[in-house]
Amino acid sequence: QYTRGTVTAFAPFDARADAEALRKAMKGIGTDEEAVLTILATRNNAQRQEIASAFKTLFGRDLVDDLKSELTGKFETLMVSLMRPAYIFDAHALKHAIKGAGTNEKVLTEILASRTPAEVQNIKQVYQQEYEANLEDKITGETSGHFQRMLVVLLQANRDPDTGVDEALVEQDAQVLFRAGELKWGTDEEKFITILGTRSVSHLRRVFDKYMTISGFQIEETIDRETSGDLEKLLLAVVKCIRSVPAYFAETLYYSMKGAGTDDDTLIRVMVSRSEIDLLDIRREFRKNFAKSLYQMIQKDTSGDYRKALLLLCGGDDD
């Protein structure tokens, strides 16, 4: 269903030849990282799975295990992420976000705010199959308060389908949000959670416009003032994704590299998970909103084989 990715099926494709080239690159002393990244960053996920299968058949070795033992650091993380089957990618990221001490709220927010209801249903099924655990139970065990409630609403994946927009309901929802926030001493978070978590995308876009007319504020400004902490970040992410998922990810990528140090986990997660979906659209939004291209920022902010691989995934410059 997605055709706006930078990574597409490589042709002519020969899984066996790729497997042989990878074995050669990693065998003996030293590793030919360039050969590894050139193959893995230019094949799509389905092809990478075929290569892994050919690798096991030919050499009796696990490709991912070999990558882990031959590579290091961020480059290793990126290559291993590319090898993760696409359908498992989000479930795996969520599992790691709620594993052990402390929860990575950023990952929960990014994935659950940006995925479609169908994708969320799929993530829950895969999570159950792979980890024999209920994702909702795991998340409620690690979160609390209104943040937890909003996550649970998103996990239900019951957003109204995008059929016609009812203008009377648009007006009503905008008024409810206005009364729950700006007009109220304190905030009625429940109203924000219910409306932002269950209404259709086209309906909410109209609600945001109507809200601006009624209150004189963008909905984002109100959320910023009326809520705080993890709930605020989650509600803002939901609003941004309702407006435009590619713009949300462009901003996520920008802030993963802006300033001192790089948030490599976020950079890798977004580049890998969106490379076959909408990375071309994300690149366009990036260029439009940040006065530089994603390609240039990756080039400036990363180095070595890690940079080469990310630039291949990025798929070109927009200047």
Residue from 238, 93, 272, 239 nearest 154 by CA: 238
Phi, psi of 179 (to 5 degrees): -70, -30
> Rounded to whole angstroms, what are the CA distances from 302 to 257, 294, 296, 305, 312?
9, 12, 10, 9, 13
Q: What is the DSSP letter of 226?
A: H
Beta carbons of 248 and 279 less than 8 angstroms apart: no
Residue from 295, 303, 305 nearest 253 by CA: 295
d(CA 35, CA 161): 45
- What are the structure tokens assigned to 119, written together? 């994708």
Residue 65's CB is within 10 A of a number of other CB atoms, namely 10
pTM over 0.85: yes
Tell me what pLDDT residue 1 has: 52
d(CA 282, CA 224): 24
Residue 271's CB is within 10 A of a number of other CB atoms, namely 26
Q: What is the DSSP letter of 182?
A: T
- What are the structure tokens assigned to 17, written together? 């030849």
Tell me what pLDDT residue 163 has: 87
- Integer distance in angstroms from the first to the last C-alpha of the chain? 28
Q: What is the DSSP letter of 161?
A: P
pLDDT digits (tens, 9 = 90+) for 200-228: 999 999 999 999 999 999 999 999 999 99
d(CA 267, CA 298): 9
Q: What is the DSSP letter of 199?
A: S
**Residue tagged 């802006």 (tokens):** 258
Beta carbons of 221 and 208 less than 8 angstroms apart: no
Q: Is the peptide bond before 117 cis (omega within 30 degrees of 0)?
A: no
pLDDT tens-place values along the chain, 319 residues long:
557 999 999 999 999 999 999 999 999 888 999 999 999 999 999 999 999 999 999 999 999 999 999 999 999 999 999 999 988 999 999 999 998 777 899 999 999 999 999 999 999 999 999 999 999 999 999 999 999 999 999 999 999 999 889 999 999 999 999 999 877 776 889 999 999 999 999 999 999 999 999 999 999 999 999 999 999 999 999 999 999 999 999 999 999 999 888 999 999 999 999 999 999 999 999 999 999 999 999 999 999 999 999 999 999 998 7
- What are the structure tokens assigned to 270, written together? 């977004």
Domains of the chain: 87-156 (1.10.220.10), 167-243 (1.10.220.10)
Beta carbons of 5 and 42 less than 8 angstroms apart: no
| 240 contact partners, CB below 8 Å, separation of at least 6 | 113, 220, 247, 248, 251
Element (H, E) at 85: none
DSSP-based three-state secondary structure for 74: helix
